[in-house]
Every structure is written in C-alpha cells, then in structure tokens.
Chains A and B, each alone.
Chain A
Amino acid sequence: MKRVLIVDDHATIRKMIRLALGDRFVLEEAGNADDAYTRILADCPDSIVLDVMMPGSMNGFQLCERIKRDRALVAMHVVLITACGQIEDQELGRAVGADAYFVKPFSPLALARHLGEALRVGLDGRAV
C-alpha cells in the first residue's frame, strides 16, 4: 500500500484527514516540519500532506522546497494544505514545487480523491 505522511500542528486536522483517507493508504503523522523531515529521510513516503504555517525551524513551504530540491525525494507527491488563501501564497506554493495546493477550509473527500488519482490507488487501497 502507498504511504502518506500527514503533517499539521493541529491534531484535529490530522484526525480529519486520517478519517477521510481511511484504509486506502498507510498513514503516518507529524506535528511539525522538522519532525516530518526526519521521518522522510529515514523512510521516504509516497506522498506528504503538508500544512504551511507550523512552529519549528521551517514552515511547509520550506520543507516542500527542500524535498523538491533533493533528487532522492523529488518524486514524492507533495500536497500543501494551508490557511493562506492569498494568490501570492498559492504562487509561492507552485514556486517551491508543490504538486497540489488546498486552501482551508477544504473538502477532505476531495483530498482523498486527489491522492487516489495521483498515487493511482483505488477505493480498496490497491493499485489501479
């Protein structure tokens, strides 16, 4: 099964995304970008759902940029999830190489559909 790392400092948002993604993926969680980066280096997931504004030494934009500049990690599908709804924030998301950008509030089911299509995973968790 494909592995997805959910990174958000709000436990409530992580819980919501976990529920929406259900059993189709192997899910892991991190509460900040630093912790997420450590996990990624140890065992690279297939995708990361990444909040932008988080405490710690780097935010989601910075972690995304770091991932996309690393040849070993660049193939990872990065979905930025953010409370920054400004156009320039979305442009920044594209500039750092994000594969998709969801603005809060967003449909968790739309996120699940997006990941299913991007990672080619069916509703039963099998490859399609």
Chain B
Amino acid sequence: MSQSLTEAAWRHCPWGMAAIGNDGNVLKVNPAFERCTGTAGATLPGMSEAAFAALLGSPLFEFVRVETQDGGLRALYYLRLVTANTGHKLELSRFTEALREPLASIYGFAELLLTQDYDEETRRDLTGTLLEQVEALTNIINEQHD
C-alpha cells in the first residue's frame, strides 16, 4: 500500500485509531479518535500506553488492541463510541454504567467528608475532587442529550 493511501485510510477511518510506538508511548492518533474521545490529538503523543489505556476505560467506548511489529509500531488501538454503530442513543444499561463511575466518587467522598476527621488541606482537596466528579457526571448527561 502506498504511503498516501495509508495516510488517507488513517485520516478517514470511521474508527478512532491510535498508534503505540516501540518505546511504549503514543505516537499519534487519527481525527476519528479525537472526535470520539473529545481529546485534542496533540496532547497524546509521548504519553505512556498505560496512561493512554486508562483514558479508554469509560463504558462509553468500545475498543480493541492489536499487537503489531510493522513500521516501528508495538500496537494499534481501534476505538469507537458504543453508539457509533447504530446512531441511536446509548443503550440504557450502558448509560447507567457510565453514570455510576462519577456517582461512586461523589457518594464515597461525601461519606468520607461527613464521617472522618481530616485536616483543612485534605478537606479542600476532597471537596475539589467531589466537584470535579459532579462536573464529569453533568458532562455525561449533557452528551446524552446532545
């Protein structure tokens, strides 16, 4: 396959793609990956595969990892939104699973703040984390409405 053809396939693939180099770090991601994840592709190269894989843990995503030894690559990730296949809204169970992640943090940190004696710095840190998770929860709901 010519280089231009490979480039075109990379750019226009409807699945998000990410290439992991032999050094175990992200080399690049394609435009569909940025659309699926809402992540600016420029922020990912150089990130370790473990940190990168952690970004894909949301039940909103479905992905596969393919080992390869072609072209200085260690692996390729193919990713899509769970809804991408049908164009319909997320299946209810998937949606509730996505909600449960930030909800778990909100419940847990609220319980700890209410029942445990922490110093002021820790209380501020935990309250900040709690608010971040409320924001994450709101984003999931807003995306569903969109």
Contacts and interface: CB of A to CB of B under 8 A. Distances in A.
Contact of A107 (B93, B96, B98, B111): B111
Interface stretch (B22-30, B33-41, B55-63): B55-63
Interface residues of A, number: 29
Contacts of A106: 104, 107-108
Contact of B109 (A16, A31, A53): A16
Contacts of A103: 100
Interface in A27-58: 31-32, 35, 53-57
Contacts of A65: none
Interface of B: 50, 53-54, 56-57, 59, 63, 65, 93, 96-98, 100-101, 103-109, 111-112, 115-116, 126, 129, 132-133
B57 A83 contact: no
A105 B111 CA distance: 11
Interface in A73-115: 83-86, 103-109
B111 A55 contact: no
A105 B112 contact: no
A105 B106 contact: yes
Contacts of B111: 107-109
Nearest to A86: B93
